[in-house]
Structure 1
């Protein structure tokens, strides 16, 4: 039986690694492959292994890297689920609003998808932030806003959700984007291209299969849908 390596975005395994192990068992049985799931401890660990993996469940930014730089194919995405950003403010600002972000300093990780999504939302409302304070991690963004280095910050929504209650309390949640144009995707390596259709079909048919439906329930996933070229093109446009 052919051995296959699966890597999964850490945001999706931090609270439910057991569900992903069940998915691995399900796919192994339906594909006739020996799928191995290596749990990534953090994004540094994930990024070390993801381009050497046969299958990858990646966030929007990493999906584009895999497709455009490494020749992977994006097969499927979760039905109705999108990657979004959150706009946060200092708890010292009593009158923080989206409008007050205009001309203000904003802490974020420059060049990432969340800041692109946030800027897209702000531009649509006629708001243009001033200086961008670049930080190396989402936690550093929170600390910058909490410490007074910037009155506002932009974070990845999943990273904000993963913060402890104490971490979330360090800032004020001002707005969550609803751009609905970026998403995590199940990607397959070019060396596995011969299995692409089989894997896509296995994922898309899970909701209609009793065991598959149980596994989806464990993962809090309603089902999978195919990724098309137009959706990827929209993500590229946002990232551009």
Structure 2
């Protein structure tokens, strides 16, 4: 039986090929056929989940909390030294130089990444700005957020930190970094559908030891996770879920 492995839609396009190479390696390590599915947006991801066609998923922490709590997905591993932080930025030509310059009625360029938006809203609480105070403009990617921000189509933009620092130096020189989150406890995770509980240890072993070979190190570098994966312990799961609930409150 083929195992379906879904990658969250917030992966950087430059890692597309890398995930496919890693998937080839994973099939050898677990001795089972694995079909990789790269979701293009959140709607596509949740459609696959609702259709019960997802066996393994690399999910953002907010989706992961729901999958574990409501659907019983099992924790497998998480990336080592790779946290999900976000950046709020404005155009370098804008008069917005700090969070205190953000006022009700201003527009925000953002992607479908709910986790990025939620963290941003918590940061904006410091200047008494709520979701209803702003105009939200959806963009298809973080590079589009940057482009439209520079072109003056929005007042501020929201980015995953990893995506922000992947922008070219020229692009970043035309932006103001207003604030970057420093939570250090949020990260993407690999989860396993409970119907495959019998392969949990095998999967944990495959991911967590992948960095121990030269070939594995190269594959991990090709998806931006050079330090590899670590087994996700129950205590870490509880901390992650508690943090998500705190951010949502």
Give secondary structure in 1 for the equivalent of 2:48: helix
2-structure distance, mates of 1:46, 1:77: 19
The reply to whether residue 225 of structure 1 matches residue 227 of structure 2 is: no
Show CA shifts across 1:27-86 (max 9, x none). 211212111112334444333324521001112222223223322123211111111222
RMSD: 3.3
- Shift, 1:220, TM fit: 2.9
Q: Of residues 116, 119, 128 in structure 2, which corresponds to 1:117?
A: 119
Point out the more displaced range, 31-40 or 143-152.
Answer: 143-152
- Shift, 1:112, TM fit: 2.5
Give secondary structure in 1 for the equivalent of 2:75: strand
Give secondary structure in 2 for the equivalent of 1:11: coil
Aligned residue number for residue 129 of structure 1? 129
TM-score for the superposition, normalised by structure 2: 0.77
Aligned residue number for residue 211 of structure 1? 215
Give secondary structure in 2 for the equivalent of 1:74: strand
TM-score for the superposition, normalised by structure 1: 0.79
Instruction: Say how many residue pairs are matched.
Output: 237
2-structure distance, mates of 1:75, 1:26: 17
Decide whether the 8 Å contact of 2:61 with 2:240 is kept in 1.
no
Residue 146 and residue 17 in structure 1: after superposition, are their counterparts in 2 closer, same or farther (change >3 A)?
A: closer
List gaps (5 residues or longer) in structure 2. none
Aligned residue number for residue 12 of structure 1? 11
- Shift, 1:142, TM fit: 6.2
- Shift, 1:21, TM fit: 1.7
Point out the more displaced range, 102-111 or 29-38.
Answer: 102-111
